[in-house]
């Protein structure tokens, strides 16, 4: 589900690259449902998507869900909070949320979260473009600085087993670009600015990890720890890199081209397939390397992030919202976390 008019235009901007490849969206005056059409139909092998059950409601704009220490962690941008929820069995195999608590308030709005090997929380403060660290005395301190390479707000993050954090960023002010130039200007060459994925080492030093990425967003590391895969939201693709012993990225390649999809948050299963939240449609897709859609879950509104969790890590948690437009979601609470059972457990990172 998307807001109509100007707000919808801003969300559609999340699919700029897809639009240039033949995707178009229009809005029925009687509905806010987005309809997607293309001159070709994806051969996705998943024609009957399953549906979700509700878990948590009343968020401004939820993001970056994680399963950690038996709790579901997530952020709410415009509440400025990192939160977590204890879960307990509900009807028909579902889970219910209990004991929701605020873990930390983050100045500058929280985004990606992860943990160092010693258990300390890392969180992206998206507006100041910093990675912060929560100390045992509950104080937040600066851990790393994204600003030399981040063209605009900080975004999602994955932390590897030794504590290296790979952090994406917007690259440019998308809302302002739409307001000033219109969507058509962003569709024409040279297109939206690219940006750099930043690596923050355990000592807090910052390094460019990969350049010329189109809105680097959700990021995963394969179960064997050898490969990092990042969603390029505005290019409609997932891009893979080999991870060197020092954390450097190499061997850049396209892992999957995605039709009718603006890939946002992601998580990976034990078989190395990736669940991809689609920011311009009410769905979460399970994608195999090469782009085959193995499974699909239908959500109640556009899906911005996902995570496999629960005791067996076979519950897919999906964060959804009517739109991602700041002027709308900062003053409303339509964001949700939804759930569905899947066949294969989560693996890798996050």
108: domain CATH number is: 2.120.10.30
In a domain, 350, yes or no: no
In a domain, 348, yes or no: no
For residue 333, pLDDT over 80 is answered with yes
Domain enclosing residue 43, as ranges: 6-341
Q: Which residues in 106-146 belong to E strands, given as ranges?
A: 110-115, 121-125, 130-134, 140-145
Give the C-alpha distances (Å, rounded to integers) separating 151 from 64, 115, 239, 344: 20, 25, 20, 37
For residue 189, pLDDT over 80 is answered with no
* Residue 256, beta-bridge partner list: 238
- What pLDDT, in 10s, does the model give residues 298-316? 999 999 999 999 999 999 9
Of 13 and 152, more confident: 152
Query: What's the mean pLDDT in 280-303?
Result: 97
For residue 181, pLDDT over 90 is answered with no
Give the least confident one: 10-24, 215-229, 308-322. 10-24
Total domains in the fold of the chain: 1
Reference 106, options 83, 81, 75; nearest CA is 81
Query: How many Å from the N-terminal Cα to the C-terminal Cα in the chain?
Result: 27
In a domain, 347, yes or no: no
For residue 26, pLDDT over 80 is answered with no
Helices (H) and strands (E) in the chain, counts: 5, 27
pLDDT score recorded for residue 33:
34
In a domain, 120, yes or no: yes
pLDDT score recorded for residue 176:
82
* Residue 118, beta-bridge partner list: none
Q: Binning pLDDT at 50, 70 and 90, where does residue 183 land? A: low
For residue 2, pLDDT over 70 is answered with no
In a domain, 66, yes or no: yes
Q: Give every strand in the sheet of 335-341, ordered side by side.
A: 53-59, 335-341, 315-320, 303-309
CA 309 to CA 323: how far, in whole Å? 25
In a domain, 144, yes or no: yes
- What pLDDT, in 10s, does the model give residues 55-104? 999 999 999 999 999 999 999 999 999 999 999 999 988 999 988 999 99
């Amino acid at each position: 589900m998307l807001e109509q008019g100007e707000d919808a235009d801003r969300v559609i901007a999340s699919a700029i690259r897809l639009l240039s490849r033949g995707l178009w969206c229009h809005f029925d005056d009687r509905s806010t449902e987005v309809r997607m059409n293309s001159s070709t139909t994806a051969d996705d092998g998943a024609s009957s998507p399953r549906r979700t059950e509700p878990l948590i409601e009343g968020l401004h704009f939820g993001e970056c869900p994680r399963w950690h220490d038996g709790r579901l962690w997530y952020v709410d941008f415009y509440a400025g909070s990192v939160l977590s929820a204890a879960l307990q069995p509900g009807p028909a195999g579902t889970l219910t949320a209990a004991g929701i608590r605020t873990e930390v308030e983050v100045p500058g709005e929280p985004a990606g979260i992860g943990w160092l090997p010693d258990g300390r929380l890392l969180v992206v403060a998206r507006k100041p473009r910093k990675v912060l660290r929560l100390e045992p005395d509950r104080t937040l301190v600066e851990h790393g600085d994204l600003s030399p390479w981040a063209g605009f707000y900080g975004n999602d993050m994955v932390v590897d087993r030794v504590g290296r954090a790979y952090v994406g960023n917007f690259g440019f002010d998308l809302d302002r670009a739409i307001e000033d130039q219109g969507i058509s200007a962003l569709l024409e060459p040279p297109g939206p600015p690219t940006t750099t994925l930043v690596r923050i080492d355990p000592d807090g030093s910052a390094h460019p990890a990969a350049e010329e990425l189109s809105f680097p967003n959700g990021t995963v590391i394969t179960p064997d720890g050898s490969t990092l895969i990042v969603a390029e939201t505005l290019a409609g693709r997932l891009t893979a890199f080999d991870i060197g012993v020092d954390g450097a990225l190499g061997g850049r390649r396209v892992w999957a081209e995605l039709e009718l999809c603006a890939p946002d948050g992601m998580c990976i299963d034990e078989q190395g397939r990736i669940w991809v939240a689609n920011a311009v449609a009410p769905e979460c897709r399970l994608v195999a390397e090469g782009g085959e859609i193995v499974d699909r879950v239908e959500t109640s509104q556009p899906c911005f992030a996902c995570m496999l969790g629960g005791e067996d890590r076979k519950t897919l948690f999906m964060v959804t919202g009517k739109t991602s437009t700041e002027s709308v979601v900062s003053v409303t609470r339509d964001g949700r976390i939804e759930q569905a059972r899947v066949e294969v457990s989560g693996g890798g990172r996050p």
